[in-house]
């Protein structure tokens, strides 16, 4: 079968990368035009190369020029340039830790190559919000996890109940305490319900203790694992807990 290759350009968000050799790596992107793609990046150690290893930070946003073929598992790169240069993310350990965590979540959850422009726009705008916000950073990862559920088909609906539990098996708020252990108590359900109704700009209004933040984060990751198969261990999780405890 003929391998039909075309030269194309797309915007892309870096999810993960691994070294392939001393001068190359394989980068996993979520792209605007093709969904998830693996791309071979060569010449990163060359003095004459245009691609610097320092560009490959979690959630970096690029323009990629590719020699694309839908028959290949790994695409060939012609050229790449930064599409967005953050002012604060990579000089701030708090923001960097959040970016690492989010990129791991996305790398673990997004498996398909199907194009989803709404998802791409959501991730891109979230990166920009993380860079621009001046307060509420310690809760940004919680907001992102809650908002992201809508894009992967497991989004709960907020409730008008004032005192309730959140049943993680059914994905619903309930007045009755579930008979199984996979639920959020009244405090956790209250915060989840608030986050479901918040925009990124509103996160600074949410006041949580370190323990409350950790309990909700643990619950949200459990919710993901119950409804999405194959969630990998999140290596940056402990760092995030330590920073925002």
Burial grade of 145 (CB within 10 A; 0-12, 13-18, 19 or more): buried
| pLDDT value, residue 51 | 60
Residues 79, 68: contact at Cβ < 8 Å?
A: no
DSSP for residue 59: T
Backbone angles phi, psi at 135, to 5 degrees: -150, 160
According to DSSP, the β-strands at 35-42 and 165-167 are unpaired
Per-residue pLDDT of the chain (245 residues; tens, 9 = 90+): 456 789 999 999 999 999 888 888 999 999 999 999 999 998 876 555 556 777 899 999 999 999 999 889 999 999 999 999 899 999 999 999 999 999 999 999 998 777 899 999 999 999 999 999 999 999 999 999 999 999 999 999 999 998 999 999 999 999 999 999 999 999 999 999 999 999 999 999 999 999 999 999 999 999 999 999 888 888 888 888 889 88
Neighbouring C-beta atoms of residue 79, cutoff 10 Å: 12
* CA distances from residue 161 to 50, 170, 189 in whole angstroms, order as listed: 56, 17, 10
What span, in angstroms and rounded, lies between the C-alpha atoms of 196 and 186?
A: 15
What span, in angstroms and rounded, lies between the C-alpha atoms of 213 and 236?
A: 16
Tokens representing residue 125 in the block: 């705008």
- What is the residue-wise DSSP string for 113-179? ----HHHHHHHHHHHHHHHH-SS-GGGHHHHHHHHHGGGGT-PPPP---SS-EEETTTTEEESSPPS
Residue with tokens 């949200």: 220
- What is the residue-wise DSSP string for 69-89? -TT-SEEEEEEEEEEE--SSG
C-alpha R_g of the chain: 19
According to DSSP, the β-strands at 74-84 and 35-42 are parallel
* CA distances from residue 8 to 39, 75, 79, 101 in whole angstroms, order as listed: 13, 11, 10, 30
| pLDDT value, residue 2 | 53
| pLDDT value, residue 50 | 53
Query: Domains in the chain, start-ordered, CATH in brackets?
Result: 6-84 (2.40.50.140), 89-243 (1.20.1440.120)
Residues 204, 133: contact at Cβ < 8 Å?
A: yes
| pLDDT value, residue 48 | 54
């Amino acid at each position: 079968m003929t391998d039909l290759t075309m030269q194309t350009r797309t915007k892309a968000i870096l999810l993960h990368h691994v070294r392939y050799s001393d001068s190359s790596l394989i980068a996993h992107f979520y792209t605007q035009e093709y969904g998830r793609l693996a791309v071979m990046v060569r010449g990163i150690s060359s003095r004459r190369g245009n691609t610097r290893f320092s560009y490959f930070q979690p959630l970096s946003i690029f323009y990629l020029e590719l020699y694309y073929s839908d028959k290949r598992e790994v695409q060939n790169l012609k050229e790449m340039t930064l599409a967005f240069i953050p002012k604060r993310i990579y000089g701030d350990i708090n923001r960097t830790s959040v970016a690492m965590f989010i990129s791991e979540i996305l790398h673990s959850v997004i498996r398909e190559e199907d194009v989803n422009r709404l998802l791409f726009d959501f991730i891109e705008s979230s990166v920009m919000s993380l860079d621009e916000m001046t307060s509420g950073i310690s809760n940004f990862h919680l907001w992102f996890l809650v908002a992201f559920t809508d894009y992967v088909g497991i989004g709960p609906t907020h409730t008008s109940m004032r005192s309730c539990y959140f049943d993680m098996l059914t994905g619903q708020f309930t007045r009755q305490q579930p008979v199984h252990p996979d639920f959020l108590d009244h405090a956790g359900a209250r915060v989840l319900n608030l986050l479901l109704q918040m925009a990124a700009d509103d996160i600074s209004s949410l006041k949580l203790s370190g323990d409350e933040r950790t309990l909700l984060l643990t619950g949200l990751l459990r919710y993901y694992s119950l409804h999405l198969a194959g969630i990998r261990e999140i290596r940056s999780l402990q760092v995030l807990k330590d920073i925002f405890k």
